[in-house]
Amino acid sequence: MKVVHVTVRGRVQGVGYRAWCAREASALGLRGWVRNRKSGAVEAVFAGAAAGVDAMVGACSKGPSGARVDDVLVHDAAETALAASGGGEDFLILETL
């Protein structure tokens, strides 16, 4: 299993980015979570098969229509990064932090 922590910057709030992210990640069979940051960024953790995680990271560079992605920071993470979502099998949208 591959786990990454992603921070997306640009016009990514108020455009349905979190909902889009949750749909895309679920379609790829990924676990994890996504949330807005008070800084205006979107933060996510994706976990699953390497090919699915890589595809999701690539999709984050574009995002949903209406989004403008300026920067995507990706860091390898441990499985403990899933703790914010309760470690379940679903992909969740969390409250803003």
Catalytic residue ranges = 18, 36
Q: DSSP for 3-63, please give it.
A: EEEEEEEEE-SSSSHHHHHHHHHHHTT-EEEEEE-TTS-EEEEEEE-HHHHHHHHHHHTT-
